[in-house]
Structure 1
Amino acid sequence: MGVAVLMGGAAYTGWALTPTPGTTPVAGPTGEALAPTAEVPPSADAERVLPAAPAPDGLPEIDYDPAPAGFPDDPDALDTTPLTQGLHPTRKLAAYDAPGGRPLAFLMPTISEVELTVPIARRESGWTAVLLPSANRKLAWLPPGGFRTVALRDQIVVERTPFRLTWYRDGTAQRSWQISLGQRGQETPLGRTFVLGRTPPPESVYGGVDIYALGSIPDDLDSVPAGLRGAHIGIHTWYHDGELGQQTTNGCIRLTASGQRLLLEKLRPGTPVVVVDELPAQPATA
């Protein structure tokens, strides 16, 4: 039991993300009501918007399994500049490899019955690029319409070399914690990702605290134990803190129970997470 278990899909481990409860109005992580958001209409400046090619009905849907190949690399994968807007699909959306490019898959309003919010990374020619779920360091481009935007106040920055996780709000460091990260050969993936959803702990080794599933997956899908294939990287606690500051997990980010409880209270789905080797200067909270 010395290594962390990756957050896996129900088809692999029997775990499941906590479903979004129907159409109940959503409140913020601290209890405040989120500001109403409206569906984003197509741009009025039609001449500047590249047209979207029709998407075949047979394209795959992006779900908890690894995303289809062909999506472009995130050119700013290690940029720690906060992403302050998220995107929630209000219907099935075709996801493209570039503005005006090829449709590769469908982005759905939910993944595993959890409402999907993805951080907005770029905008170009009337199109919007978001961090791709169930993939590492990839973007998906969406044409105008069929989604609404939400504000993202928080950010998590993970530093692999000092084994440190820092929570930022509105660009200001709030708290830092020492963490455990992926062991050799199963290193915690670098780059930008986001909080996909949360799940109850399936075993007592997780300390009785809910787990965050991230949008990222192991860089080497065959490196993790067979029982964890199809898993996502997670943020979770452990039944003891004796391995903090070490490479002992299967790629997950493990912190203290008190730290995890605070993050569960403060962060909403879609919160950006970026993993780097080390920041140029340590946070004031370190």
Structure 2
Amino acid sequence: MVGGAAYGGWALTLAPETTPTVRPDDGVSRPISEMPASHSPEAGDGPAAAPAPDWLPEIDYDPAPAGFPADPDTLDTTPLTEGVRPARRLAAYDAPGGRPLAFLMPTIRGVELTVPIARRERGWTAVLLPSANRRLAWLPPGGFRTVALRDQIVVERVPYRLTWYHDGEAKRSWRLSLGQPGQETPLGRTFILGRTPPPEPVYGGVDIYALGAVPDDPEAVPASLRGAHIGIHTWYHDGELGQSTTNGCIRLTSSGQRLLLAEVPPGTPVVVVDELPTPPPTA
């Protein structure tokens, strides 16, 4: 089966026991604020948050609602070093002081959510939107805490290379298989949403990372993979490394996947580019 069942998440059950515990050195850098957003001391002189109707959808594993703004720095490989962990249901807006479009929840399928911070403006915080590609959600102050993000994964499509960075230093690089024509691995910034056990023997018995990204063209993937997320995973053989054979996922060696699973927690930023200007020293 070439590239079959290549999304690590078409039948994803993100159970807490399958998600690695965030390391103590990912420590909290800002306390939870339980005050209403428009009265939070962090709000400063920024625009107040409009009330969010209760009927707005919740962002979960299904495709995120439309209307959120594009990430203007989606191909920027500068590490994102802070993440947001919601402490309660948070209204997500299309701009600072803009329209509420959905609710960001503390968990997705039972897994604690950590979303990387992409930018800040006038007391508001923009995070990478789960279950969408190259989109941001704006959050008013209050109702979340921030944590340090010390890792980053950079995927290069042209040289078929994944590089793991820790504290800005390249640690390891691996050869990859990526998405076949028409089902290319989506470009841009995303993040590790969580992990799940391998549902089939083709994954070599190694857990899968589900990313926040989804296929750019959901209709191009096989029907059995509709509604899936892009994943980072291994395969039962390494004969397709350096080729475009998956349904959009990022496929590396089993030893590489096991190392990432041991060292890299959910919430870690992932950015997919065509090629870095200079190869990493680990290439």
After TM superposition, list the pairs within 5 Å mapping 1:93-108 onto structure 2: 93-108=90-105
Match of 1:187 in 2: 184
Q: In structure 2, do the counterparts of structure 1 residues 160 and 18 end up closer, same or farther at CA, with 3 Å as the change threshold?
A: same
Q: Does 1:197 align with 2:189?
A: no
1:266 paired residue number: 263
Percent of aligned pairs sharing the same letter = 74
1:3 alignment counterpart: 3
Equivalent in the alignment of 1:213:
210
Cross-structure match for 2:50: 53
Shift of 1:17: 1.5
In 2, are the aligned partners of 1:209 and 1:237 still within 8 Å (CA)? yes
Counterpart of 1:2, as a letter, is V
Q: Deviations over 1:150-192 (max 9, x none)?
A: 1000000000000000000011100000000000000000000
**Superposed displacement of residue 27, structure 1:** 4.4
**CA distance in structure 2 between the partners assigned to 1:88 and 1:20 by the alignment:** 18
Cα pair 2:9 2:231 within 8 Å, conserved: no
The CA distance in 2 between the partners of 1:192 and 1:170, in whole Å, is 18
Q: Distance in 2 between matches of 1:225 and 1:50?
A: 45
Task: Provide closer, same or farther for how the CA distance between residues 253 and 143 of structure 1 changes in structure 2, counting only shifts above 3 A.
Answer: same
Residue 253 (structure 1) aligned with residue 253 (structure 2): no
Q: Which runs of 5+ in 1 are unaligned?
A: none
**1:275 corresponds to which of 252, 259, 272:** 272
The equivalent residue for 2:235 is 238
What are the equivalent positions in structure 2 for 1:68-79 lying under 5 Å apart?
Answer: 68-79=65-76
Shift of 1:39: 0.7
**TM-score normalised over the length of structure 1:** 0.93
* Corresponding position of 1:165: 162
**Cα deviations by residue, 1:3-24 (Å, 9 ceiling, x for unpaired):** 1421234xxx3x31232699xx
Select 1:39's aligned residue among 18, 32, 45.
32
Do the aligned residues in 1 keep the contact of 2:193 with 2:211 (CA within 8 Å)? yes
Shift of 1:26: 4.5
* Equivalent residues, number: 277
Unaligned runs of 5+ in 2: none
Supply the RMSD in Å over aligned alpha carbons: 1.8
Measured in 1, the distance between the counterparts of 2:42 and 2:166 equals 34
Secondary structure of 2:258's match? helix
